[in-house]
Structure 1
Amino acid sequence: MQLVTALLASLLLQFLVLPGQSQLVERMPGSVDQGGRCHCVVHLPSNAIPLQQLEKLQRTAQELIGKYEQELSRVSENPGIIDYHDNQALEMTYKLQSRSASASPAFYEAPAFKLLGLQLEGAQQLVTQLKAKGGVSGSENLLNQLQGQVANASFTLKLLGDSDKQSFRALHQEVDVLEGRLSECERDRKQGQTSSHRSPPLIPGSCAHGILQKVSRPLVVHLNWRGFSYKTGAWGRDSAPNSVSPLYWVAPLHRGGRYFDYYRLYKSFDDLVLLKNYEERKMGYGDGSGNAVYKNYMYFNYYGTGDMAKVDLTSNTLVLRRPLPGATYNNRFSYTGVPWKDIDFAGDEKGLWVLYATEESKGNLVVSRLNTSTLEVEKTWRTSQFKPTLSGAFMACGVLYALRSLSTRQEEIFYAFDTTTGQEHSLSITLDKMLETLQGINYCPSDHKLYVYNDGYLINYDLTFLTLQRQLPRTPVKRPFGVHAPPKPVKTNQPVTAFSP
């Protein structure tokens, strides 16, 4: 109501007191009659005061005022509407506090916020109607200025509402993530409490355990030092059991995802996290992300060949280069989603291994144990898994574990091959990942962790193995004299699929 009154007052003042009109009637000649009354004749221009237009403007203003007062009276006659909206706001606030899934109240839904928006809409409509019906010269500038101010106020109000919506949605998502993590922690705690006994901690470098049973959630250390564009690479800790120094290494590949040229060494995990006290080296002849570090030597595929290479990390010197018999190379049988990883090195409690494929195996994964001094193949096992269908593999206590991708956020360790017994096992152990592809996978016996290079990020996992139960010695059963025990069944061992290349 105040807005309408102020607008009409401004318009009437502008048209009733036009510039120069006071001087037209200020000094006009006239005469005085016998009664002392003054008479004069004034000839005004026909366009001095547009009476017809002014009357039209007054009628329009009266109509708008009447409509406005009518709407205002409707609101005053129904005070319960505001109480209803206030009760709705309180109910939505309570739902928000109780974290109901259907509740999403926010400031932009408050009755006061909506009422302010309606008032601005009414003011904008009023200005538009005045511009359309007024038709008075000189009023356009004032109405345009008023219309611009109302539009700016409406736009600012809309921005506030949109910003509040986005903030509320972001907060809602964060709360959902935190609730999910809390539920998972609570579930793990209950499972730990309901178990009959807790597994004793594994001795570093020990294989006194069974097959892999569980993988922890990923721990993201940080992005590799060369940046996000270096998505392919490998990293880890020296895979030799009971290593004297906890040497950590990071080897991002060139942006093409194949060429291995630089790497860094860290003497502690703290130095790795803080990116300090490192030694940066230039390599210049590595191929793919199948690197591994074992007893202070780095092993990798020599660029463009089927050769194995060995570099002394103390001096950064190539000390040995030897072909891997029968191995395919140049992206012939690499892992799915990870090109150029034809020859994949792995270290564990039982030595240094190399994982690859041959034409003879028709692309199936082959495992060979190497002599670390000469890189000669000591023994080889063939598996039933076609290497290009796997997303990666690693060794732990002489057991090969193979992975496949389930989605952009999960992998599955689905297959195991025991080189001691030659037997295969089916598994189903899910492994969460931050991004889509796992380029480098390395196991360390000293801490039983898995070190993964995940699209440029350095991630590790804690591995849990099946605990071997200690069996109490049996007391021999006393038998009567002359009664012999039945013969024991003869156990036959299955032949191990092994051959030397």
Structure 2
Amino acid sequence: MRALQTEALQEDVLMLEKEDDGQLYAVFSLYVIENELVEITQLINRLNSTTLGYQRLTANTTKQLKDLRAEMQQLETYDTLQVVKRQQDNKQLKRELDQCRNRLYPITQPTPPQGNCPHGEFRNITGVRMHTEGEYPGSYMYGAWGRDPKPEAGKENWYWLVMLTSSNIYANYVRRYSSLSALIVGVSTPGNVEIHTSNPTTNTVQGPNAVLYGEALYYNCYNQDSVCRFNLTTKAVTTLQLPKDTRYNSKGNFCHLDECYPYTDLDLATDESGVWVIYTSKHDFGNLVLSKVEEGEPLTLGQTWRTSVYKQGVTNTFMACGVLYATRYVNKDVEEIFYKFDTTTEVERFDISVFINKMSPNIHSLNYSPVDQMLHAYCDSHMVSYKVLFS
């Protein structure tokens, strides 16, 4: 715009130079030029004022941005060093208080109906409470151990152990210990209770996922898609045929990205309400299936639930208060309880995010004991236990 006015002024001056009106209009023309010069001067002044304003605005904005960035960095440092630290300290303190409360004030509850937990809602587990390799350190990589939730009188403090002594797949006896101390030092007063003298053979143990309940061992029968129940008193074996298309003989294993755990097709579990079996089938496209095992003669399969979690994406399962929990491998030091299925509400969740600190990379069996709310893990010949914390 300033260029146009300057150009117009030049044209007016040229026109004035050419005028020959006997000085009749010369004065008027000069007034016109003077007015144009005033307008140009005013325009230049406004332009300069605007430019200076923008410069000041830019400078102020830049300074404000720098100040804001410095404040944000200060707040971030404060949050990292103070707020987050305080949250972590509070969580740690709460966990320690929960552990102290559970250790000092154990409460013995009556056996509840399925899905009705007397302890409250599952919240977390502690760090390792007990760790031992028992009598045979490093000898038997696969196995299971724990307590009988329904023991005979006088055997309330006994523990049991099943080690896969043939090819890391098969076992033909269960070993008993009269106390936890006896298990740790490796003194088995009752010794072995044999299912059969041969290993393996019909109705002996196949795979690591066995449990003891009511003085009877429940496990995957050798070379069958069936649950076996071995009565430790009478030595009788009862079998329970699972539904057609149930995967067995290492075709429906627990797995993680690096490997699968062989012959983990059937996982037996105990909780406050009894015995459960977790498995999968071709009909269910490899997803976990959960069934209640009903006591009595003959052994029968009770209610069944189907889940949407893929079995080969799971490393282990356990039951607590009628709720199925599943774990997955995070790394060699950590396992995550990531999933649960409530048999009462039939609601499943994939966001549990409870972590298990491991003593060895692989957890080959995981059993919950409702007697003392402990979680017993068998990991590469290590026997490890954790306390389950409820709200």
Render the CA deviation track for 1:105-132: whole Å, top value 9, x for unaligned.
xxxxxxxxxxxxxxxxxxxxxxxxxxxx
- Pick closer, same or farther for the CA change 1:286–1:193 going to 2, 3 Å: closer
The percent of aligned pairs where both chains have the same amino acid is: 32
- Equivalences for 1:68-467 in 2 at 5 Å? 190-191=93-94, 201-204=106-109, 205=111, 207-240=117-150, 245-246=155-156, 247-276=158-187, 277-283=189-195, 284=199, 285-315=204-234, 317-326=235-244, 327-336=246-255, 337-373=260-296, 374-425=298-349, 426-466=351-391
Q: CA deviation at 1:428?
A: 0.4
Q: Distance in 1 between matches of 2:166 and 2:332?
A: 21
**Which amino acid counterpart does residue 364 of structure 2 have in structure 1?**
Q
Contact 1:409 1:436 in 2 (8 A): yes
Q: Distance in 1 between matches of 2:242 and 2:231?
A: 19
- Pick closer, same or farther for the CA change 1:233–1:211 going to 2, 3 Å: same
- Pick closer, same or farther for the CA change 1:193–1:398 going to 2, 3 Å: closer
RMSD, matched Cα:
2.6
TM-score of the two chains, using structure 1 as the length reference:
0.52
SS of 2:161's partner is strand
- Pick closer, same or farther for the CA change 1:231–1:224 going to 2, 3 Å: farther
**Which amino acid counterpart does residue 225 of structure 2 have in structure 1?**
G
Q: Distance in 2 between matches of 1:423 and 1:398?
A: 12
Q: CA deviation at 1:262?
A: 3.2
Contact 1:308 1:321 in 2 (8 A): yes
Contact 1:241 1:444 in 2 (8 A): no
**Which amino acid counterpart does residue 389 of structure 2 have in structure 1?**
T
Q: Distance in 1 between matches of 2:347 and 2:152?
A: 28
- Pick closer, same or farther for the CA change 1:410–1:260 going to 2, 3 Å: same
Q: Distance in 2 between matches of 1:242 and 1:282?
A: 19
Q: CA deviation at 1:354?
A: 0.5
- Equivalences for 1:9-48 in 2 at 5 Å? none
Q: Distance in 2 between matches of 1:320 and 1:194?
A: 45
Q: Which has more radius of gyration?
A: 1
Q: CA deviation at 1:256?
A: 2.0
- Pick closer, same or farther for the CA change 1:201–1:194 going to 2, 3 Å: closer
Contact 2:266 2:277 in 1 (8 A): yes
Q: Distance in 1 between matches of 2:174 and 2:355?
A: 30
Render the CA deviation track for 1:49-91: whole Å, top value 9, x for unaligned.
xxxxxxxxxxxxxxxxxxxxxxxxxxxxxxxxxxxxxxxxxxx
Q: CA deviation at 1:363?
A: 0.7
SS of 2:352's partner is strand
Q: CA deviation at 1:241?
A: 8.3
1:46 alignment counterpart: none
**Structure 1: runs of 5 or more not aligned:** 1-184, 467-501
Higher strand residue share: 2
Q: CA deviation at 1:278?
A: 3.7
- Pick closer, same or farther for the CA change 1:192–1:401 going to 2, 3 Å: closer
Q: CA deviation at 1:202?
A: 4.3
Q: CA deviation at 1:431?
A: 0.5
- Pick closer, same or farther for the CA change 1:289–1:219 going to 2, 3 Å: same
SS of 2:94's partner is helix
Q: CA deviation at 1:378?
A: 1.2
2:11 alignment counterpart: none
Q: Distance in 2 between matches of 1:208 and 1:220?
A: 25
Contact 1:241 1:445 in 2 (8 A): no
Q: CA deviation at 1:353?
A: 0.6
SS of 2:356's partner is strand
**Which amino acid counterpart does residue 413 of structure 1 have in structure 2?**
I
Contact 2:223 2:249 in 1 (8 A): yes
Render the CA deviation track for 1:444-500: whole Å, top value 9, x for unaligned.
11100011101101111100012xxxxxxxxxxxxxxxxxxxxxxxxxxxxxxxxxx
SS of 2:155's partner is coil
TM-score of the two chains, using structure 2 as the length reference:
0.66
Higher helix residue share: 1
Q: Distance in 2 between matches of 1:244 and 1:444?
A: 18
